[in-house]
C-alpha cells in the first residue's frame, strides 16, 4: 500500500533530476570498470592540452591524458567514497540515535553528551587525524566522513526519535499488543526515516566534496587513483591558460552534489504522505463525521 | 471475564498521583470514571494495560479474568492488549500513525494476534471500517489519517481498538476533542458496538452529561482518590460529594440538561 512512493518520487521534478543524475554517475562508474575511451593514465606528450575535439571529446591535460576517461574513472572513486561513507554514517548514526533515545536515562544522557563532544570535531580534523595513522588513502576520507556524518545524523535523529516515542500512536501501537521491538520497526523507524534520508543524502554529497577537497589537499586519494578532486587540483594550476579543461571535473562534482541533494529532498517528500503535493487527492465533499 | 481494581496506587517521581482507587467491572457492565483533569483517571486506564509512562510505578491489584496484571511480564501483557482489552484515546489527531494507511492500522492488531495473511487482513480491515460506519470502506482503508476528518479518525481509532473483539473496551475521553454533533454520533456508535458484542466498558470522561448517556455506574475521582461511587441515576439526582455536585453544575453545557434545572 505504501509502494506508491517511487511513482511519487518520479512525479517530482527534483526527484526526477536526482534519480537521473545519480543513475548517470552509477552507470558511468560501472562502465568505467570495464571500458573508458582511452587508458586514463596513458601519457602522450604529443597530444597535450588539446581542446574538446575528436577523439578526445573533452580534450587532454598537460601530459596528454584523456580528460573524459579521467572523469569517467574518477566517478568510480566518487561512488565508492559516497556509498562507503554513507554505510558507515548509517550504522554509527542509527546506533547512537537508538542508544540516545531508547535506553535508560543515564545511558541516554551520556550518549547525548558524547555526541555533542564529537560534533565539535570538523570532518577535516578527523580526516587529518586518521591520515596520520593510515597515510594517504581513500579509506581516510570514507572513515572521516562516515564518523563525522554519523554523529550529525545521530544528533538530528535522536530528538526526532524521542518525539515520536512519546506520540499517542506509539502508545496506541503498544495498546494493540505490539512488543517494543515490533513497535520500533513498524512505527518509530518509519516515522524518523524522512529526517534520516535527508541527512544521509546530504552526507553523501559532503562525502563527494570531501573526497575532492581532501584529495586536493593531498590526504585522500593516492596520485595513482583517478579522482575528481585530484584532477581538479592538477588542472586548476593552469586555469588561466586552459580554463576549459578545469570545467569538466568541476562540473561533475557540482552536478553530483546537486543531484544527491535534490534526490534526498524529493525522497523525503515522496515517502511522507502528509507532505506529498503530487498526491492527486480526490476532491470530494467531506463526509461529516 | 471481569476487571477488579483494588487499592490501585500510582507514584510518579515519589509523588502519589493515584491513591487507593478501587472499582469493579463485571461481564457486560458499563462503568464510568469521572473527574476533573489531573484526577488520575487516564493514568488508571493506562495502568490497566501496563502502559504507564516511564518513571511511574503502580501498586495494589488489578485483576483481569482472575489474572493479576500488575507485575505481569510485558510479553504476556502484550498478548492481552488489543486482544482482550482495547483502548480508544482522547485525541484522534495524534492517535494514528501519520505515515501508514488507515487500513493497515486497523489490521495491525488482527495481524499480531491472529497471524492472518496480508490479503485477509485487508478484507478484515474493510469489514471493520464498515462496522464503525466509515463511508466508502473499500477506499477509505487506503487513505492516510490526514485525509480524514476528526470524527472519521476517531471511528478508525475505535475500529483499531475493537478489531480483535476485546472483552473490555477502555474509552479515554473519546469524544472530548470532537464537535458536539459528532460527539453524539460517536457515543451512539460506541453504545451500539458495546451492546452488540456484550463487551464491558470503562468510559473515562470529565462530563457527567456524556457519562449519563453511556454508563450505568459512575466512579468519581478527585486528586487520585475515589470520592463517590454510585449508579449514574443516583449521581445525577442525589450527588453526595461536592465534587460530583460541581460536575453536575458543569454538565449543562453539552448534549443534555438535567431535568428541573433552568
Tell whether the torsion through CA atoms of B115, B119, B120 and B126 is positive or negative.
positive
Q: Say whether residue A268 is in contact with chain B using an 8 A CB cutoff.
A: no
Cell of B133: 460506519
**Do the Cβ atoms of B93 and B146 come closer than 8 Å?**
no
List alpha helices for chain A, DSSP H. Answer: 5-11, 13-34, 67-102, 105-118, 123-134, 138-165, 168-175, 180-183, 189-217, 228-236, 243-271
SS3 state of residue B223: coil
Residue contact B89–A168, C-beta within 8 A = yes
Closest CA of chain A from B225, distance in Å: 25
Q: How does pLDDT run across A207-234, given as a tens digit for each residue?
A: 888 888 888 788 888 878 888 888 888 8
Every domain of chain A and the residues it spans: 5-271
Q: How does pLDDT run across B185-204, given as a tens digit for each residue?
A: 889 999 999 888 889 999 99
Selecting from 1.10.3720.10, 3.50.30.40, 2.40.110.20, 2.30.130.10, what CATH number does the domain A5-271 have?
A: 1.10.3720.10
Tell me, what's the pLDDT at A276?
Answer: 56
B216 vs A166, higher pLDDT = B216
Provide, as residue numbers in chain B, all residues whose Cβ is less than 8 Å from the Cβ of A180.
74
Set out the domains of chain B in order of their start, with CATH numbers: 1-84+186-256 (3.40.50.300), 91-165 (no CATH)
Tell me, what's the pLDDT at B207?
Answer: 87
pLDDT above 90 coverage of chain A, percent: 30
Residue contact A286–B100, C-beta within 8 A = no
Q: How far apart are CA B112 and CA B126, in angstroms?
A: 17
Closest CA of chain A from B145, distance in Å: 9
Angle at A58 between CA A57 and CA A64, to 5 degrees: 100
Cell of B135: 463511508
Q: Is the pLDDT of residue B165 over 70?
A: yes
Q: How does pLDDT run across A105-133, given as a tens digit for each residue?
A: 899 999 999 999 988 888 888 888 888 88
Cell of A65: 591524458
According to DSSP, residue A54 is labeled S
Q: Is the pTM of this model over 0.90?
A: no
**Residue A231 class from Cβ within 10 Å (0-12 exposed, 13-18 middle, 19+ buried)?**
buried
Q: Say whether residue A178 is in contact with chain B using an 8 A CB cutoff.
A: yes
Give the mean pLDDT of B34-51: 90
Q: Is the pLDDT of residue B114 over 50?
A: yes
According to DSSP, residue B177 is labeled T
Q: How far apart are CA A47 and CA A54, in angstroms?
A: 12
Q: Is the pLDDT of residue A280 over 70?
A: no
Residue contact B113–A288, C-beta within 8 A = no
Residues 189-208 of chain A whose Cβ lies under 8 A from any Cβ of chain B = 190-191
Residue contact B113–A178, C-beta within 8 A = no
Nearest to B78 among A179, A272, A281 (CB): A179
Amino acid at each position: 500500500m505504501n509502494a506508491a512512493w517511487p511513482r511519487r518520487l518520479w512525479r517530482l521534478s527534483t526527484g526526477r533530476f536526482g534519480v537521473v543524475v545519480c543513475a548517470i554517475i552509477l552507470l558511468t562508474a560501472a562502465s568505467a570498470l570495464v571500458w573508458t575511451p582511452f587508458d586514463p593514465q596513458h601519457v602522450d606528450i604529443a597530444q597535450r592540452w588539446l581542446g574538446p575535439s575528436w577523439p578526445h571529446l573533452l580534450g587532454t591535460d598537460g601530459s596528454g591524458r584523456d580528460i573524459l576517461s579521467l572523469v569517467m574513472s574518477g566517478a568510480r572513486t566518487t561512488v565508492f567514497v559516497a556509498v562507503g561513507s554513507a554505510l558507515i554514517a548509517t550504522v554509527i548514526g542509527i546506533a547512537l540515535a537508538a542508544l540516545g533515545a531508547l535506553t535508560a536515562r543515564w545511558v541516554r544522557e551520556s550518549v547525548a553528551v558524547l555526541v555533542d563532544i564529537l560534533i565539535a570535531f570538523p570532518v577535516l580534523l578527523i580526516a587529518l587525524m586518521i591520515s596520520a595513522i593510515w597515510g594517504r588513502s581513500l579509506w581516510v576520507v570514507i572513515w572521516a566522513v562516515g564518523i563525522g556524518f554519523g554523529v550529525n545524523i545521530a544528533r538530528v535523529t535522536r530528538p526526532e526519535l524521542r518525539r515520536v516515542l512519546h506520540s499517542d500512536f506509539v502508545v496506541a501501537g503498544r495498546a494493540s499488543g505490539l512488543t517494543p521491538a515490533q513497535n520500533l520497526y513498524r512505527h518509530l523507524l518509519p516515522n524518523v526515516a524522512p529526517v534520516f534520508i535527508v541527512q544521509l543524502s546530504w552526507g553523501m554529497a559532503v562525502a563527494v566534496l570531501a573526497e575532492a577537497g581532501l584529495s586536493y589537499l593531498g590526504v585522500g586519494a593516492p596520485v595513482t587513483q583517478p579522482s575528481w578532486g585530484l584532477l581538479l587540483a592538477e588542472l586548476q594550476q593552469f586555469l588561466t591558460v586552459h580554463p576549459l579543461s578545469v570545467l569538466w571535473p568541476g562540473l561533475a562534482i557540482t552536478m553530483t552534489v546537486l543531484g544527491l541533494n535534490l534526490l534526498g529532498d524529493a525522497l523525503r517528500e515522496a515517502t511522507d504522505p502528509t507532505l506529498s503535493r503530487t498526491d492527486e487527492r480526490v476532491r470530494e465533499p467531506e463526509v461529516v463525521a | 471475564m471481569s476487571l477488579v481494581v483494588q487499592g490501585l496506587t500510582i507514584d510518579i517521581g515519589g509523588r502519589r498521583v493515584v491513591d487507593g482507587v478501587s472499582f469493579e467491572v463485571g461481564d457486560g457492565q458499563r462503568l464510568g470514571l469521572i473527574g476533573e483533569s489531573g484526577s488520575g483517571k487516564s493514568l488508571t486506564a493506562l495502568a490497566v494495560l501496563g502502559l504507564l509512562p516511564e518513571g511511574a510505578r503502580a501498586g495494589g491489584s488489578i485483576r483481569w479474568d482472575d489474572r493479576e496484571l500488575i507485575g505481569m511480564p510485558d510479553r504476556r501483557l502484550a498478548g492481552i492488549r488489543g486482544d482482550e482489552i482495547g483502548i480508544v484515546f482522547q485525541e484522534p489527531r495524534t492517535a494514528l500513525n501519520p505515515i501508514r494507511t488507515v487500513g493497515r492500522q486497523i489490521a495491525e492488531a488482527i495481524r499480531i494476534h491472529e497471524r492472518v495473511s496480508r490479503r485477509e487482513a485487508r478484507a478484515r480491515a474493510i469489514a471493520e471500517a464498515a462496522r464503525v460506519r466509515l463511508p466508502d470502506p473499500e477506499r477509505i482503508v487506503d487513505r492516510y489519517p490526514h485525509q480524514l476528518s476528526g470524527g472519521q479518525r476517531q471511528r478508525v481509532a475505535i475500529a483499531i481498538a475493537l478489531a480483535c473483539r476485546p472483552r473490555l473496551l477502555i474509552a479515554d475521553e473519546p469524544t472530548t476533542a470532537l464537535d458536539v454533533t459528532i460527539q453524539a454520533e460517536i457515543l451512539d456508535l460506541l453504545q451500539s458496538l458495546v451492546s452488540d458484542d456484550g463487551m464491558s466498558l470503562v468510559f473515562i470522561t470529565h462530563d457527567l452529561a456524556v457519562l449519563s448517556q453511556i454508563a450505568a455506574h459512575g466512579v468519581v475521582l478527585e486528586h487520585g482518590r475515589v470520592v463517590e461511587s454510585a449508579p449514574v441515576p443516583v449521581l445525577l439526582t442525589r450527588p453526595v460529594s461536592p465534587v460530583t455536585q460541581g460536575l453536575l453544575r458543569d454538565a449543562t453545557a453539552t448534549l443534555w440538561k438535567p431535568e428541573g434545572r433552568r
